[in-house]
Amino acid sequence: MRGLILQATGSWYLARIDDEKVVECRLPGKFRLSEEEVTNPVAVGDIVHITMQSDGTGRIEHIEERKNRLLRKATHNRRGVQVIASNVDYVLIVQSLRQPVFKTGFIDRLLVCCEAHEIVPVIIINKTDLQISRKDASDLAEVEKLYTGLGYLFCKTSIFDEETVRSLGDLIKGKISVMTGHSGTGKTSLLNLLAPGLDLKTGDVSLFSNKGKHTTTFTRLVALSDDTYLIDTPGIREFGLVDLESYELSLYFPEMRTFRESCRFYNCTHRHEPGCSVKKAAEEEHIYPSRYRSYLHILDGIEND
Ligand SMILES: Nc1nc2c(ncn2[C@@H]2O[C@H](COP(=O)(O)OP(=O)(O)OP(=O)(O)O)[C@@H](O)[C@H]2O)c(=O)[nH]1
Ligand SMILES: [Mg+2]
Ligand SMILES: [Zn+2]
């Protein structure tokens, strides 16, 4: 029997078999050490083969080859990497206009991860109902212009505007999407509207710090229809930048690709080298200042790793 992993908590897994049937599964020990650097052998989004046991639970016999996987460094000082989700079509980068205010640096970091993994990103600015000042409106217009100009999918939503949530639903139809973004930006709220009857817990944003409270504590995959799935996460800051060389980073900034070809050095980091076309393009604002800043910031992170 084939199943799709909806949840993975410790050594128990929930797998969706056809017809909405969900089975609790266990994993035999032999899978545990199959791949040394990975701390979890089965992740949300995996397709598994199951045999039913006499007590009504399932036993995972086989994991089908993954199309892709989102990795992050294992937490709690554990060595190795953790698979956040697998077989993903879209990464939804959910940010909010206010409460908390969106961060282009965060968006850029995730875009690099998507580019490196060849997964299509969708930038979502939620809470567009919170346009209070004229600056909010111009900030929103500016961020939309920036990312649509780079060719990325971009979507504005508000949970108080049904139409916007419906367009998001149309956009992700037939795909497996994973939601990322800071706590409190409205990931779970959007999911609840896209999957009526679900009613997952959402949390308030502290008025004092303007931060969310990490209401969602584990990753879960929800079926919106037979062929559309959405994965809610407790927030992913980045994934899979594990082995990137510093001179490769600019490959994942689409607007830098043509400029980098004409840098003097093939391994130019575009920071201070002579004859650097990327730096020149940034100075002349052919590259957006905020994007170049993000680039330098991520580069620092790679080099100090
Ligand atoms: N004004 C406004 N508030 C929203 C919108 N979407 C969500 N919220 C509110 O924002 C708060 C946080 O929403 P959640 O859905 O819990 O946010 P989350 O991204 O899932 O947060 P974590 O699970 O902590 O990562 C809740 O109080 C929601 O009601 C929106 O479009 N407009
Ligand atoms: Mg949540
Ligand atoms: Zn250069």
Buried b (16+ CB within 10 A) or exposed e, 27-66: beeeeeeeeeebbbbbbbbbbbebeeeeeeebebeebeee
295: three-class secondary structure by DSSP: helix
Residue 198 and residue 223 in contact, taking contact as beta carbons nearer than 8 Å: no
- The two tokens of residue 236 are 């992913």
CA of 256 from ligand 1 middle (Å) equals 34
Q: What top-level class would CATH report for the domain 246-303?
A: mainly alpha
- Find all residues with CB under 8 Å of 258, minimum gap 6, and list them: none
pLDDT of residue 180: 92
pLDDT in tens, the chain (305 residues): 999 999 988 778 999 997 678 999 998 876 655 556 777 889 999 999 999 999 999 999 999 999 998 888 776 666 778 888 999 999 999 999 999 999 999 999 999 999 988 999 999 999 999 998 999 999 999 999 999 999 999 999 999 999 999 999 999 999 999 999 999 999 999 999 999 778 778 878 776 677 777 877 788 999 998 899 999 988 777 776 657 889 999 999 999 999 999 999 999 999 999 999 999 999 999 999 999 999 999 999 888 87
Any ligand 1 atom below 6 A from CB of 169: no
Give the closest ligand to the alpha carbon of residue 185: 1
Domain ranges of the chain: 2-66, 88-232, 246-303
Residue given tokens 């199943």 in the structure block: 3
CATH superfamily of 2-66: Nucleic acid-binding proteins (2.40.50.140)
Q: Whose CA is nearest to atom 30 of ligand 1?
A: 127
On the question of a cis peptide bond just before residue 100, with omega within 30 degrees of 0, the verdict is yes
pLDDT of residue 36: 61
278: three-class secondary structure by DSSP: helix
pLDDT of residue 19: 63
Any ligand 1 atom below 6 A from CB of 212: yes
CA of 158 from ligand 1 middle (Å) equals 10
Nearest to 180 by CA among 192, 191, 193: 191
What single letter denotes the amino acid at residue 6? Answer: L
Rounded Cα distance, 198 and 246, in Å: 43
What letter does residue 41 receive in the DSSP assignment? S
Q: What top-level class would CATH report for the domain 88-232?
A: alpha beta
> Measured in whole angstroms, how far is the alpha carbon of residue 248 from the centre of its chain?
21
Q: Whose CA is nearest to atom 6 of ligand 1?
A: 186
- The two tokens of residue 93 are 């980068």
- The two tokens of residue 211 are 């931060």
What letter does residue 283 receive in the DSSP assignment? H
Any ligand 1 atom below 6 A from CB of 159: yes
pLDDT of residue 208: 67
